[in-house]
Amino acid sequence: MKDQALPSQAPATRIMNARNLSSLVDYEELRHFDLFSNFTNDELQILLRGIVYKTYQYGRILFIQGGERRGSFWC
C-alpha cells in the first residue's frame, strides 16, 4: 500500500543537484515565505536546481542548505 501524506504535511520533492546527487527540498514549505510565495513548485525546482541542497524547518525558522558551495542560510 502506498503511503499517503496527511493534508497538513506537504510532500517533499527529490531533485538532482549540481553534482547529480538526489536531495530533498520541500517546495511547499518554501512557498510559505514571501520571497517564494508567487512561484509554483515546478518554477521553484527550475529556479533552485543546483543551488539548494536541502530544506528543513526548526520551529518557525526554515533552514536552506546550499548546494555547490555548501553554504547555509535561513529565512
- The pair phi, psi for residue 42, each rounded to 5°, is -65, -40
DSSP 33: S
Give the type of residue at 52. V
Describe the strand order of the beta sheet including 72-74 as a list of residue ranges. Answer: 52-58, 61-66, 72-74
Report domain extents, the chain: 13-70
Amino acid at 70: R
Q: What is the pLDDT of residues 32-48, one digit of tens each?
A: 777 777 878 777 777 77
Task: Give residue-wise pLDDT tens across range 2-26.
Answer: 444 433 444 454 444 444 444 556 6
Q: Residues 47, 11: contact at Cβ < 8 Å?
A: no
